């Protein structure tokens, strides 16, 4: 009987149908051998094994690529037009059924060409019905025999990328916008036919000249989908040997982190990146930023990095600004001015990470840009108050020059109200509609502010508006309906402010909770939780569980309050554990169950019961209650509780997985970032911890706790100067105590800032005269500055204070000082 | 680079005393080459691990057709390069596994090595294990796979490096490929 190898090789010579019979015969009844051979033959037929990755790869040498003169199906390759990450483009001659010139794009090897062709076929019908002068048609797609390379045939477009075209022609901003609007209309046409482009970037928006006018063609529709490109580790690096989707233009949802499907708003995002580039000459995420980034970093950048406003970017491009302006046939100041305002807001709206906040369609984006060109107010906008007026003034420049208008304008400024377009109009309208307009604006601002409850900016605006509404009510009471609406608004504003206060207070406490952990601070914290809850109407010391249940049901934000109650209970248990006032198991159970009745969500209930130990800690119990849908719907706080719950059942892998997931979902949540950083510190990963603490300080620059923690992380990482700076920042927000100042003094001393160190130590001393370390630092700093008399005084004071346990090194220093003094006197 | 060339020349003149140094030298050389490339390439043009091996070779022998044909040292060179590349990729895969970014939100770092298999650390490690098994059973086939997979040689080039006929190389490859895929399934 032949060997396995020889039967295998012989079978390969046969057709697929004959193999089976041959193998059975050759194995001569040896079941094991024939089973094995079938396995091998199956493996042979499967082209998706790991070794096949190398098979199609070669060295990427040019001889393995088809070249000029080559025939592919009915096409003959002519000139090579270009090469990109995806592959090579040729100009080709179609020989039949009709003779024409086409562009033929050959995809680099390494993709599953069958799947590519199948996906292409699936969309072919839709592609065929697209008929727009600014869209290049895709005619055909297939795979080159044997080499597994997909190719696409499309309308031959000889143009250059839109960005280059605009620069080459020194097109002013307005003309750029017009050209861009054409692109939008074309993409919108495709969207209406159900086709999403998925890979909009300058090299796919080509411009040629026709009769002296620019002619736009959007190419490559349907190709990105066929190639199924997402920002996965495969597409970014390996399979094609080059990144397919260009990450600068890729929407967050395309970056593959969120797992949601791509829709037309993804094209809105990419188009806006293109707009950004047309305006500023750079993409929001600069190409240099991505240069050294790995896959994960790219994902993070795409998902988290907020874009800088285009006008800001222009201002920052100091060196190139001259060229940028020149390329737009304008002066530097005018360029910035053109972009500032509307174009800023439109761009920022298109670049929203959350697609629900972008323009719903490409057409809307185009319409807003059209409004800019027509000097009309745009949909996108900041909560800026002067906005409407400027717009109005520009549009009505002639009319405004008239005396009446100027008087109105002066009046508006004099009354000190907002320079709002509405005010000009309002002066001519009756008081009621004036209040109505205020209300409109105020209500919109309220919605925006409520969504962004922890940011200062929308709330400042809202505060101003509410004052305005308040004073309007005071002056006119003629229309009861409007007045009622105004009171209504004020009531809602008050409630929302309470929510905000509550949330902010909670955040600060949560930060304190992750850092300070002795009985005394726990007690302090417990009191604060009680105070916050009390302000909200929950007196935890007197309310019965039933009361709490009932009250929670009526609360506007029951989940937020449950959060606070949970935290309060957790601190309460901590105190009891640390030997403070005890809390019985029965009471804990009572609170836990009351919360579970008020908030019966199975996952949250399970977390609660695990953390408070009312069930036996048990992984299965916890995992059973956690479904993936729940996870993605869960708010930041609950995810962090869940991680703690997993830590309690000793599943730390799952816990850190949850934490990472939580951060990916709520990248801007202060407490999540803070907790994660604190965890990293515990794991001695100070370098990373610094990054996350920095993020906290960026998210909430006024949180002293975050600066404090950042300072400690820096210090532990050996960056004492940075540590000092951060701690000083923390002190500006919240004066430190003696211990904190001593810490600062120590760092300053260690980094050679002697006078500063002494100053801080003196502050510490004044706060707590018994603080020995502060005295040491004062002495040391004098000593290092060679002021031995002063040093001696400080050290002696130290030893006197220390009294019973004088410090040896201080004694050493004292004698050193004395020697120096003696030596100088000897001279 | 000079040292590598020197060893290869020695090999050509029949002196194999320093052949053991070839591997560590190439290991460093490939790493440096990759780092240098990454620095200068545009971010949307990443490099291919196997193209590096070829580039290293070209840097040593130049484009001179004649020296390209010195297949005695050539076989040694690609053998060592394939082994160096294997170690780099396996180290990389192990590092990735150690990071334990397990579970559903598995995120793989790209790092420097743009080998098509670099994103599949688990399969890569399995393959490596299977490969050492094959090596015990049939070292020539294992070497062929290494040359093809890690150094990116074509069948013809690998055949030349191993001093076997292209037809044999094709048959060896077919069998070894199926065998390994069954092994790691």
Query: Three-state SS string across B29-54, please?
Result: HHHHHHHHHHHHCCCCCCCCHHHHHH
Q: What is the pLDDT of residue B114?
A: 53
- Can you tell me the distance from the alpha carbon of A179 to that of B83, in angstroms, rounded to the nearest whole number? 54
- Can you tell me the distance from the alpha carbon of B27 to that of A202, in angstroms, rounded to the nearest whole number? 39
Q: Do β-strands A149-155 and A138-144 pair in parallel, antiparallel, or remain unpaired?
A: antiparallel
Nearest to B149 by CA among B83, B76, B61: B83
| Residue stretches of chain A with pLDDT short of 50 | 56-64, 230-244, 383-430
Residue pair A389/A424 in contact (Cβ under 8 Å)? The answer is yes
Minimal-distance CA residue of chain B relative to A658: B105
Nearest to A242 among B44, B179, B180 (CB): B44
| Band (B159; pLDDT cuts 50, 70, 90) | confident
Size of the A and B interface in Cβ pairs below 8 Å:
137
Q: What is the pLDDT of residue A59?
A: 37
The answer to whether residue A199 is catalytic is yes
B98 touches chain A (CB under 8 A): no
A661 touches chain B (CB under 8 A): yes
Q: What is the pLDDT of residue B40?
A: 55
Return the structure tokens found at A364: 């809307």
Residues of B in contact with A13 (CB under 8 A): none
Could you read off the pLDDT of A184-203 as tens digits, one per residue?
999 999 888 888 888 898 98
Residues of B in contact with A238 (CB under 8 A): 114-119
Residues of A in contact with B181 (CB under 8 A): 43, 46, 49-51
Q: What is the pLDDT of residue A228?
A: 60
Minimal-distance CA residue of chain B relative to A245: B44
B63 touches chain A (CB under 8 A): no
A632 touches chain B (CB under 8 A): no
Is the pLDDT score of B121 beyond 50? yes
For chain B, positions 116-155, list CB contacts with chain A under 8 A: 116-120, 123-124, 127, 145, 148-150, 152, 154
Residues of B in contact with A249 (CB under 8 A): none
CB atoms within 10 A of CB B25: 18
Q: How far is B54 from chain A (nearest CA, A)?
A: 7
Is the pLDDT score of B115 beyond 90? no
CB atoms within 10 A of CB A289: 17
Q: How far is A355 from chain B (nearest CA, A)?
A: 22
Q: Which residues of A796-814 are buried (b: 16+ CB within 10 A; e: fewer)?
A: ebbbeeeeeeebeebeebb
**E strand or H helix that includes residue A140:** strand A138-144
Taking an 8 Å cut-off on Cβ atoms, the answer to whether B152 and A51 are in contact is no
Q: How far is A19 from chain B (nearest CA, A)?
A: 15
Taking an 8 Å cut-off on Cβ atoms, the answer to whether B110 and A295 are in contact is yes
Number of residues that this document lists for chain B = 185
- Can you tell me the distance from the alpha carbon of A647 to that of A13, in angstroms, rounded to the nearest whole number? 59
Q: Where are the alpha helices (DSSP H) in A193-235?
A: 223-227, 233
Distance of CA A645 to the CA centre of its chain: 26
Gyration radius of chain B's alpha carbons: 17
Which residues, at least 6 apart from A464, have a Cβ–Cβ distance to it below 8 Å?
A385, A418
Taking an 8 Å cut-off on Cβ atoms, the answer to whether B177 and A299 are in contact is no
Residue pair A793/A775 in contact (Cβ under 8 Å)? The answer is no
* Catalytic option among A52, A112, A167, A199: A199
The number of C-alpha atoms within 13 Å of A749 and in the hemisphere containing its C-beta is 25
Return the structure tokens found at A778: 């004062």
Residue pair A505/A532 in contact (Cβ under 8 Å)? The answer is yes
Residue with tokens 């060896």, as numbered in its chain: B172
Taking an 8 Å cut-off on Cβ atoms, the answer to whether B152 and A58 are in contact is yes
- Can you tell me the distance from the alpha carbon of A251 to that of A272, in angstroms, rounded to the nearest whole number? 10
Taking an 8 Å cut-off on Cβ atoms, the answer to whether A294 and B111 are in contact is yes
Q: What is the pLDDT of residue A476?
A: 56
Nearest to A50 among B47, B108, B127 (CB): B127
Residues of A in contact with B127 (CB under 8 A): 50-51
- Can you tell me the distance from the alpha carbon of A423 to that of A467, in angstroms, rounded to the nearest whole number? 16
* Phi and psi, residue A539, nearest 5°: -95, 95
Q: What is the pLDDT of residue A540?
A: 83
Q: How far is B169 from chain A (nearest CA, A)?
A: 12
Query: Of A2, A201, A242, which to mutate for an interface test with B (greatest number of B Cβ within 10 Å)?
Result: A242
Residues B12, B18, B22: CA angle, nearest 5 degrees: 85
Q: What is the pLDDT of residue B68?
A: 52
Taking an 8 Å cut-off on Cβ atoms, the answer to whether B177 and A51 are in contact is yes
Nearest to B174 among A9, A59, A628 (CB): A9
DSSP assignment of A760-777 equals HHHHHHHH-TT-HHHHHH
- Can you tell me the distance from the alpha carbon of A469 to that of B157, in angstroms, rounded to the nearest whole number? 82
Residue pair A10/A39 in contact (Cβ under 8 Å)? The answer is no
- Can you tell me the distance from the alpha carbon of A54 to that of A69, in angstroms, rounded to the nearest whole number? 28
Nearest to A642 by CA among A670, A668, A621: A621
Which residues, at least 6 apart from A581, have a Cβ–Cβ distance to it below 8 Å?
A575
Return the structure tokens found at A490: 């004020």
Residues of B in contact with A299 (CB under 8 A): 107
Residue pair A240/A110 in contact (Cβ under 8 Å)? The answer is yes
| Band (B41; pLDDT cuts 50, 70, 90) | very low
Nearest to A607 by CA among A574, A640, A558: A640
A752 touches chain B (CB under 8 A): no
- Can you tell me the distance from the alpha carbon of A414 to that of A424, in angstroms, rounded to the nearest whole number? 13
Q: Which residues of A328-358 are buried (b: 16+ CB within 10 A; e: fewer)?
A: bebeeeebbebbbbbbbbbbbbbbbbebeeb
Taking an 8 Å cut-off on Cβ atoms, the answer to whether A41 and B171 are in contact is no
- Can you tell me the distance from the alpha carbon of A791 to that of A766, in angstroms, rounded to the nearest whole number? 18
- Can you tell me the distance from the alpha carbon of B179 to that of B175, in angstroms, rounded to the nearest whole number? 6
Residues of A in contact with B185 (CB under 8 A): 43
Residue bearing the bigger pLDDT, B119 or A85: B119
B107 touches chain A (CB under 8 A): yes
Taking an 8 Å cut-off on Cβ atoms, the answer to whether A57 and B54 are in contact is no
User: Which conformational region is residue B75 in: left (phi greater than 0), alpha (psi within -120 to 50 degrees), or beta?
Assistant: alpha
Q: How far is B20 from chain A (nearest CA, A)?
A: 26
């Amino acid at each position: 009987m032949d060997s396995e190898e020889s039967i295998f090789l012989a079978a390969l010579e046969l057709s697929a149908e004959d193999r089976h019979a041959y193998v059975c015969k050759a194995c001569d009844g040896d079941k094991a051998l024939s089973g094995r051979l079938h396995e091998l033959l199956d493996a042979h037929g499967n082209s998706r094994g790991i070794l096949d990755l190398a098979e199609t790869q070669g060295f990427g040498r040019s001889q393995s690529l088809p070249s000029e003169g080559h025939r592919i199906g009915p096409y003959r390759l002519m000139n090579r037009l270009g090469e990109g990450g995806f592959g090579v483009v040729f100009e080709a001659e179609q020989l039949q059924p009709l003779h024409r010139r086409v562009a033929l794009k050959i995809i680099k090897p390494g993709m599953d060409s069958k799947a590519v062709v199948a996906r292409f076929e699936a969309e072919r019908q839709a592609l065929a019905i697209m008929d727009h002068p600014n869209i290049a048609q895709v005619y055909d797609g297939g795979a080159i025999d044997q080499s597994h390379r997909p190719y696409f045939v499309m309308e031959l477009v000889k143009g250059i990328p839109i960005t280059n075209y605009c620069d080459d022609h020194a097109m002013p901003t307005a003309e750029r916008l017009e050209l861009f609007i054409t692109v939008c209309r074309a993409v919108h046409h495709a969207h209406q036919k159900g086709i999403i482009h998925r890979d909009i970037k300058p090299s796919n928006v080509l411009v040629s000249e026709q009769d002296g006018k620019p002619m736009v063609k959007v190419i490559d529709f349907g190709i990105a989908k066929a190639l199924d490109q997402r920002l996965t580790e495969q597409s970014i690096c390996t399979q094609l040997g080059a990144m397919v989707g260009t990450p600068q233009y890729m929407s967050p949802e395309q970056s593959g982190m969120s797992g949601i499907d791509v829709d037309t708003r993804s094209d809105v995002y990419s188009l806006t990146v293109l707009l950004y580039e047309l305006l500023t000459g750079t993409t929001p995420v600069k190409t240099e930023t991505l240069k050294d980034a790995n896959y994960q970093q790219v994902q993070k950048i795409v998902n988290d990095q907020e874009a800088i406003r285009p006008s800001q970017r222009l201002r920052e491009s100091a060196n190139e600004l001259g060229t940028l302006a020149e390329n737009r046939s304008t002066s530097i100041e005018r360029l910035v001015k053109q972009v500032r305002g509307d174009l800023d807001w439109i761009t920022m709206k298109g670049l929203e990470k959350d697609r629900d906040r972008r323009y719903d369609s490409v057409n809307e984006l185009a319409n807003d840009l059209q409004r800019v060109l027509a000097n009309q107010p745009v949909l996108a906008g900041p909560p800026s108050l002067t906005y409407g007026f400027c717009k109005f003034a520009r549009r009505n420049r002639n009319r405004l020059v008239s005396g009446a208008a100027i008087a109105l304008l002066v009046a508006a400024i004099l009354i000190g109200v907002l320079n709002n377009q509405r005010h000009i109009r309002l002066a001519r309208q009756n008081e009621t509609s004036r209040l109505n307009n205020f209300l409109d604006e105020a209500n919109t601002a309220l919605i925006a502010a409520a969504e962004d409850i922890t940011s200062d900016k929308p709330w400042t605006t809202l505060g101003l508006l509410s004052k305005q509404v308040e004073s309007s009510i005071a002056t006119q009471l003629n229309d009861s309906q409007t007045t009622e609406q105004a009171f209504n608004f004020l009531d809602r504003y008050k409630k929302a402010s309470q929510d905000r206060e509550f949330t902010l207070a909670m955040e600060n406490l949560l930060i304190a909770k992750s850092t300070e952990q002795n009985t005394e601070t726990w007690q302090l914290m417990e009191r604060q939780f009680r105070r916050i809850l009390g302000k909200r109407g929950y007196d935890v010391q007197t309310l019965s569980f039933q009361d709490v249940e009932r009250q929670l049901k009526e609360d506007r934000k029951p989940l937020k309050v449950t959060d606070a109650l949970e935290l309060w209970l957790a601190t309460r248990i901590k105190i009891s554990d640390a030997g403070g006032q005890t809390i019985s198991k029965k009471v804990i159970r009572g609170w836990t169950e009351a919360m579970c009745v008020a908030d019966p969500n199975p996952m949250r209930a399970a977390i609660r019961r695990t953390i408070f130990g009312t069930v036996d800690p048990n992984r299965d119990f916890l995992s059973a209650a956690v479904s993936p849908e729940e996870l993605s719907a869960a708010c930041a706080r609950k995810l962090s509780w869940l991680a703690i719950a997993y830590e309690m059942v000793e599943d730390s892998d799952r816990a850190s997985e949850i934490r990472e997931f939580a951060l990916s979902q709520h990248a801007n949540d202060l407490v999540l970032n803070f907790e994660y950083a604190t965890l990293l510190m515990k794991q001695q990963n100070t370098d990373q911890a610094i990054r996350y603490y920095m993020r906290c300080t960026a998210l909430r620059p006024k949180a002293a706790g975050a600066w404090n923690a950042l300072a400690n992380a820096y210090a532990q990482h050996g960056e004492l100067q940075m540590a000092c700076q951060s701690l000083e920042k923390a002190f500006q927000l919240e004066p430190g105590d003696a211990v904190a100042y001593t810490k600062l003094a120590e760092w300053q001393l260690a980094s050679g800032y002697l006078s500063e160190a002494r100053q801080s130590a003196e502050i510490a001393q004044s706060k707590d005269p018994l603080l020995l370390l502060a005295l040491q630092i004062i002495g040391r700093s004098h000593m290092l500055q060679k002021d031995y008399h002063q040093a001696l005084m400080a050290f002696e004071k130290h030893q006197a204070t220390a009294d019973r346990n004088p410090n040896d090194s201080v004694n050493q220093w004292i004698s050193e000082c004395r020697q120096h003094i003696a030596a100088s006197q000897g001279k | 680079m000079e040292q590598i060339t020197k060893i290869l020349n020695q090999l050509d003149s029949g002196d194999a005393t320093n052949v053991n140094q070839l591997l560590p030298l190439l290991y460093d050389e490939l790493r440096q080459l990759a780092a240098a490339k990454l620095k200068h390439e545009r971010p949307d043009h990443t490099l291919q691990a196997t193209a590096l091996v070829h580039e290293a070779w070209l840097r040593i022998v130049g484009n001179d057709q004649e020296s390209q044909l010195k297949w005695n040292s050539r076989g040694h060179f690609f053998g060592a390069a394939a082994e160096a590349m294997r170690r780099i990729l396996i180290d990389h895969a192990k590092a990735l596994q150690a990071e334990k970014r397990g579970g559903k939100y598995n995120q793989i770092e790209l790092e420097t090595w743009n080998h098509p298999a670099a994103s599949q650390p688990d399969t890569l490690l399995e393959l490596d294990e299977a490969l050492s098994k094959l090596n015990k059973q049939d070292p020539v086939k294992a070497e062929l796979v290494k040359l093809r997979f890690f150094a990116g040689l074509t069948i013809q080039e690998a055949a030349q490096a191993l001093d076997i006929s292209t037809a044999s190389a094709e048959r060896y490859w077919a069998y070894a490929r199926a065998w390994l895929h069954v092994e790691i399934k």
